[in-house]
Amino acid sequence: MSLMDALPTPRLRWEGRRPNGVLLSLSVVMLAAFWSLDAVSVAPNRIVAGTGYGALEAFGWPGVLLATLLLSAIGLFAWQPSTQHYRALLASLMALMALMPVGLIASSYLLIDPDLPQARLGLGAAYWVILFLLLLCLIEIRLRLKLSRLWPTLLLTAVALIWWLCAALWLDSLALVQEFRARDAQFVRAVGQHITLVSIAVSISVVVGMLLAMLMRRYSRLQKGAFALLNFLQTIPSLALFGLLLGPLAWLAAKVPFLAQLGVSGIGTAPALIALIAYSLLPMVRNTYIALEEVSPATLDAAKGMGMRSGQRFWQVRLPLALPVLLEGVRITTVQAIGLTAVAALIGAGGLGTFIFQGLGQAAMDMVLLGALPILMLALVVDAGLGALAEALRPGGIQ
């Protein structure tokens, strides 16, 4: 044996750390999108199609270098991942998202002609691709750092506030801002209608779903038939269900004046609520049934041995233990209802879907975004809030 063989082999600091393939791939794709796709588009007015501009034309060399460095940092930190590197990655992601509206401000000064007051600045494909991939990076980092669902939502809310501030103060030329200012009162009313429809539908489905789940536990013969009916309702397309409800509700409103006075008709709020409740029942009933059934029999026997009556065991033992899974059902139901409520605009129920369908009819994609983006934000906030609450209620949940 030689002297070199006897010496211990030096160990590199990063030995045993495998590169994060997900973040590396996303970093490469974002860099490719940034350099190859249009960053923004500029149109002289609302009718004429916009002209696309690359990152160099839109942001200038300083902006391009800064964005390239931040996007490259994602790949560099992902090459030797550690807890500190993931935290640095999270900071880089938030900085990049917060600086994205600054790039739009620079683009408006560089590309918008002051002599064209109707000129509009639109987000290009590169913006949407990078924003979507950054959200995927955020999900990956959250899982690696084992963060609660609430933390990414709080960070995204702070970023959204920065976007809103920049749009309100310096982005008058942004097409989305112009669409909002042209119909701000209608937008506020639509948000209220959307939230009201979702709240009523989810509240009713929670009560009815819990009652059905408890009845199915008591009467086993009811279980198969109830689940078959609820699964059948899920297979009906939403537009078809709205159409099926139109005739019967219109007939009831004509035959029963009291229902007509309450606002029941073939179109409007009544069929929208019925359809939303019908679609919401399956996830609510299924999660409630599973939550109540999965409570440990040993725990219930211990409660019975302590002298608790049947009602006390349900309210003080079974229901609190089942609550995390039950809240997951509420989360799924609410997120699903937020999306489905957009379709209710087609039957005159109002909500944010009004802007989506008006924009599609007028080939105005910025109006479509005016309705779609708030729906996405509502779904993200509800998903994160209820998900974090369910995690906190689980034994050994959020510390």
pLDDT tens sequence across 169-207: 888 888 888 888 888 899 999 999 999 999 999 999 999
How would you classify the pairing of strands 120-123 and 40-43?
A: antiparallel
- If DSSP codes are grouped into helix, strand and coil, which group holds residue 38? coil
Flag whether 6 is in a domain: no
pLDDT 10s digits, 138-154: 888 888 888 877 777 78
Residue 258 lies in a domain: yes
Residue 274 included in any domain: yes
Same domain, 264 and 295: yes
Are residues 170 and 215 located together in one domain of the fold?
no
Residues 277 and 162 in one domain: no
**pLDDT confidence tier of residue 396, bands split at 50, 70 and 90:** low
CA dihedral 144, 145, 150, 154 (to 10 degrees): -110
Asked whether residue 236 falls in the same domain as residue 153, the answer is no
| Nearest Cα to Cα of residue 336 among 233, 229, 267, 266 | 233
Phi/psi for 327 (5° steps) reads -65, -30
Q: Give the count of domains, the chain.
A: 2
**Type and span of the H or E element at 25:** helix 21-36
DSSP for 152-192, please give it. HHHHHHHHHHHHHHHHHHH-TTBHHHHHHHHTHHHHHHHHH
Q: pLDDT > 70: what percent of the chain?
A: 94
Distance CA 161, CA 100 (A): 13
Round the average pLDDT of the chain to a whole number and report it.
83
- Cβ atoms of 272 and 349 closer than 8 Å: yes
Q: What domain range includes position 123?
A: 21-175
Q: Nearest to residue 146, comparing CAs of 92, 88, 83?
A: 83
Same domain, 306 and 383: yes
Residue 9 pLDDT greater than 80, yes or no: no
pTM of the model: 0.82
